[in-house]
Structure formats: C-alpha cells, structure tokens
Amino acid sequence: MSKHHFIIYSRSYCHLCDDMLEALHKLRAADGDGAHRFTVELIDVDADPELLAQYDEMVPVLLGSKDGQAAMQLCHYFLDVEKVKAFLRG
C-alpha cells in the first residue's frame, strides 16, 4: 500500500487553514475501506522567512507526496477534493 503524506502550509490565525485541515480529516473519515490513509503535517509559514516569501498570500497551500517522493502542490485556499482523491488513487 502506498504511503501518502500531506503538508499544509498555514498560519495560526487562518480560518481557511483550519477549514482545509478539517476537510482532509472528513475525507479520511468518509473512507470506509481505508484507501485514503495518509498523514498530515502543518507548517507555519510565519516561522520561516523563505516559506513566508513563497506562500504568504496563498495560504493555506496543500502539498502531497507519495512513497517519499518529492511533494507536489495540489491546491491552495480551499481543498480541491477531486484533485486530492485523484492524487490518492494515482
């Protein structure tokens, strides 16, 4: 089984970041057969000047990686459920 990992670049006072994390948790909870198993890591862009410069106005930004490969950006602002499901299937 593939190992999927998501990173949400976020900030502490961002309601959209909370919404994206909640949507990911709902996606996992709705998965009856366990196909959507993944880990999620939150990274605060305000704690790193380079991340702040890269993602400041785009947070939340969701990146996904599979089996330790390089992460790819999947969406920002809102969770693109269909894109995330396709990533998990692919």
How far is CA 74 from each of CA 9, 53, 60, rounded to the nearest angstrom? 12, 19, 11
Q: Tell me, yes or no, whether 50 lies in a domain.
A: yes
Domain span at 76? 4-81
CATH number of the domain within which 13 lies = 3.40.30.10
Q: Tell me, yes or no, whether 87 lies in a domain.
A: no
Q: Tell me, yes or no, whether 89 lies in a domain.
A: no
Distance CA 10, CA 51 (A): 10
Whole-model pTM?
0.91
| Per-residue model confidence as pLDDT tens digits over 43-67 | 999 999 999 999 999 999 999 999 8
The count of domains in the chain is 1
Q: Tell me, yes or no, whether 18 lies in a domain.
A: yes
Confidence category of residue 12, pLDDT binned at 50, 70, 90: very high
Cis peptide preceding 49, ω within 30 of 0: no
User: In this predicted model, which residue has the larger pLDDT, 21 or 32?
Assistant: 21
- Whether the predicted pLDDT of 35 surpasses 70: no
